[in-house]
Amino acid sequence: MISCSEFVDHLNALGIDTAVGVPDSTFKGLISCFESTEKINHITACNECEAVAVSAGYYLATNRPALTYMQNSGFGKTINPCTSLYSREIYSIPGLFLVGWRGKPDEKDEPQHKTMGRIMLNLFNTLEIPCTVLNESEWKKQVSETYRVSRANEIPSVLVVPKGLFDSFPPSGRQEDSALLLREQMLELVIEHLAADTFFVSTTGKTSRELFEIRERNNQGHAGDFLTVGSMGCASAIAFGIALNKPEKRICIIDGDGAALMQLGSMATIGHYQLKNLMHIIIDNNAHESTGGQPTVSDSVDFGAIGKACGYPYIYYAQNEKDVCDSVKAVQAADALSLLIIKCRKGSRKDLGRPTTTPEENKIAFMKKLGSV
């Protein structure tokens, strides 16, 4: 395995002292190392497009590339800045990208990673971005050469990281409010107190997994839940599209803080149209739970103030059982667009399972119940 500390030291030796990105479980130990060491100025971005733009700004200010890290699924968001901002035909900006390889062919992974995992290397080639797949024996040479190519040609260059390449590194300690409930407990309360005919669109990762298991325990069936697979940050826009075209149905978004921050502009669209059959819930644990629990920037964000500024007429906050129950009742009585921000603590069950139905089966059952087919 590659030592996270040695990797940081090698970056420093090349003159790299800044890392910007969005977490990926493929190298979660390295991200923990970035958070813990004073050798790296670490910036947590809300989405990958932002991350590469911040790194471009860093280069313009210092004449030195930063390290920009992301999951390969998130790399798709960066195609625009890669083919314009960084392009040799536009600004010709160098950049060292670290991209986790989820969905690597012949390796078991989640369904949302299969397509990008299969096409990723060809995609880099199409975009005329040099890429190197890191390996344990030659990684120092590979990092140095990738950095040299980027600087010499003033283009972005990619280091691809397969699973299991970096060693573990303890996450930076932070205080958790033990009085707060876990996300799954908050979800149970929401489901218990919302009308049974409510349709749910849940964000990707552990939120959707927990929703599925709650339904299993309650013997409620899954047809009323659209479990968003991949497409992080898009659950709110998906739900808006459904609510807009099914005004007679009550639609509830189950968002996370990281997902909401990633596509914050969706709140402006939702607030503008003020669909009265739409309820937006953001469950905020200040963490990217599904990629290793790395912190988001939500601890400095007031989602309620953002919602109000975007046009949401009703805003509610909850951090305990009574708050959730009272807020859900108020939302249903208001019969108008509402935003509920639920604070919870980081963590999930170690035995948390995964949906036993395929995404396509979920889609078909959801559309049938919705009356679309």
205 and 310, same domain (yes or no): yes
Residue 170 lies in a domain: no
> How many angstroms from the chain centroid is the CA of residue 338?
23
**Beta-carbon count within 10 A of 21 CB:** 29
Q: Over pLDDT 90: what percentage of the chain?
A: 88
244 and 144, same domain (yes or no): no
Task: Please count the CA atoms within 13 angstroms of the CA of 52 that sit on its side-chain side.
Answer: 29
pLDDT tens string 84-132: 999 999 999 999 999 999 999 989 888 889 999 999 999 999 999 999 9
247 and 281, same domain (yes or no): yes
243 and 366, same domain (yes or no): yes
pLDDT at 144: 98
Mean pLDDT of 202-224: 94
Domain that holds residue 294: 183-370
253 and 145, same domain (yes or no): no
72 and 147, same domain (yes or no): yes
User: In this structure, what CATH number is given to the domain that contains residue 37?
Assistant: 3.40.50.970
- From 97, 130, 161, give the residue that closes a domain: 161
Instruction: Give the predicted TM-score (pTM) of the model.
Output: 0.92
Q: How many domains does the chain have?
A: 2
258 and 364, same domain (yes or no): yes
Q: Beta strand 287-288 with 294-295: parallel, antiparallel or unpaired?
A: antiparallel
Residue 171 lies in a domain: no
Residues in the chain: 373
pLDDT at 179: 83
Residue 172 lies in a domain: no
Residues 116, 114: Cα–Cα separation, whole Å: 6
Residue 230 lies in a domain: yes
327 and 287, same domain (yes or no): yes
Residue 174 lies in a domain: no
- From 126, 161, 196, give the residue that closes a domain: 161
18 and 142, same domain (yes or no): yes
Mean pLDDT of 41-69: 97
- From 130, 161, 192, give the residue that closes a domain: 161
> 348 or 53: which carries more pLDDT confidence?
53
Residue 48 lies in a domain: yes
Residues 105, 23: Cα–Cα separation, whole Å: 22
Mean pLDDT of 260-282: 97
pLDDT at 116: 95
At 181, which amino acid appears? L
pLDDT at 266: 97
Mean pLDDT of 145-169: 96
The model's confidence at residue 342, banded by pLDDT at 50, 70 and 90, is very high
Both structure tokens of 349: 């069950």
133 and 239, same domain (yes or no): no
155 and 200, same domain (yes or no): no
Handedness of CA 251, 257, 258, 264 (dihedral sign): positive
Both structure tokens of 215: 């339904």
Task: Please count the CA atoms within 13 angstroms of the CA of 315 that sit on its side-chain side.
Answer: 13
Mean residue pLDDT across the chain: 94
Residue 20 lies in a domain: yes
> Residue-wise over 182-220: b if at least 16 C-beta within 10 A, else e?
bbbebbbbbbeebeeebbbbbbbbbbbbbbbbbbeeeee
pLDDT tens string 163-204: 999 999 987 766 667 789 999 999 999 999 999 999 999 999
pLDDT at 292: 80
Residue 15 lies in a domain: yes
Mean pLDDT of 311-326: 95
203 and 339, same domain (yes or no): yes
Residue 176 phi/psi, 5° resolution? Answer: -110, 140
Mean pLDDT of 141-156: 97
